[in-house]
Amino acid sequence: MSTQQVESGKTVRFKILRQDNPNGPSRWEEFEVPYRPGMNVISALMYIRQNPVTADGKETTPVTWDMNCLEEVCGACSMVINGRPRQSCSALVDQLEQPIRLEPMKTFPVVRDLQVDRSRMFNALKKVKAWIPIDGSYDLGEGPRMPERKRQWAYELSKCMTCGVCFEACPNVSEKSNFIGPAPLSQVRLFNTHPTGAMNKDERLDAIMGEGGLANCGNSQNCVAACPKGIPLTTSIASLNRATTVHMFRKFFGSDHMVD
């Protein structure tokens, strides 16, 4: 940013929803940031952090938010920008209507300002065992290979960066709901597809068949429209509907009487 030339006199106006602590009241504050060609929302927030003065000249505290990679990989900088949940590192000022409104995602508890606690999502990933259990198997040699056709669509599911945008977009995820959310469901499909991950396939299916699981999805398809990585979340959910149905019948009748 320091090498870019600031356009003389041109500014960008931001309205940011502030909150000093998890239980405190919220308030709107407005800021004016000098315009730079190609600037994104993160660069504007960095300027505000260095110059915490509102548009009307009042000194305030620096704005708090989460960020890490700054290239839409880590998922940390999710927030609601002009009413739409998205990544602030890839949100370009030139493509946004002013004043640019920044709010924290409402699905998760606010820590401070635009920073939220995404523990709900991470706990859901723990519930469905969203990992490959390889402990103790490192000395067994190479594992089975995944067919290329299956590997290609599994790679698309692996792009999930746990940003939480699909949670924010989903009408079935709220404080009054215990729905585990679209991303963890898609991860069940991903890890059940992996030759080694399939060892825990039944555990994962049992987890999403319980309370707050697959049955809580209302099929609004907001998640797939909002996902910044274009992950086919609804396709995963449809596939899991079939998988859980087969799993349920296997448990009821016994696996010896069931065929794929």
Structure tokens belonging to residue 194: 């992996």
According to DSSP, the β-strands at 110-112 and 78-81 are: unpaired
Model pLDDT, residue 133: 77
Model pLDDT, residue 4: 47
Q: Where are the alpha helices (DSSP H) in the chain?
A: 41-50, 119-127, 148-157, 165-169, 182-193, 201-209, 222-226, 233-253
**Fold of the CATH domain 11-116:** Ubiquitin-like (UB roll) (3.10.20)
Residues 133 and 145 sit within 8 Å (Cβ to Cβ): no
Domain locations along the chain: 11-116, 119-257
- CATH code of the region 119-257: 1.10.1060.10
Residues 144 and 195 sit within 8 Å (Cβ to Cβ): yes
- Residue by residue, pLDDT tens for the chain (260 residues) are 443 455 667 999 999 999 999 999 999 999 999 999 999 999 999 999 999 999 999 999 999 999 999 999 999 999 999 999 999 999 999 999 999 999 999 999 999 999 999 999 999 999 999 998 776 666 667 778 888 989 999 999 999 999 999 999 999 999 889 999 999 999 999 999 998 889 899 999 999 999 999 999 999 999 999 999 999 999 999 999 999 999 999 888 875 455 54
Which helix (DSSP H) or strand (DSSP E) does residue 33 occupy?
A: strand 26-34
What are φ and ψ of residue 19, in 5° steps? -155, 120
pTM metric for this prediction: 0.88
- Token look-up 């929803």 returns 17
Model pLDDT, residue 255: 59
Model pLDDT, residue 145: 85
Model pLDDT, residue 160: 97
- Neighbour tally for 32: CB within 10 Å: 18
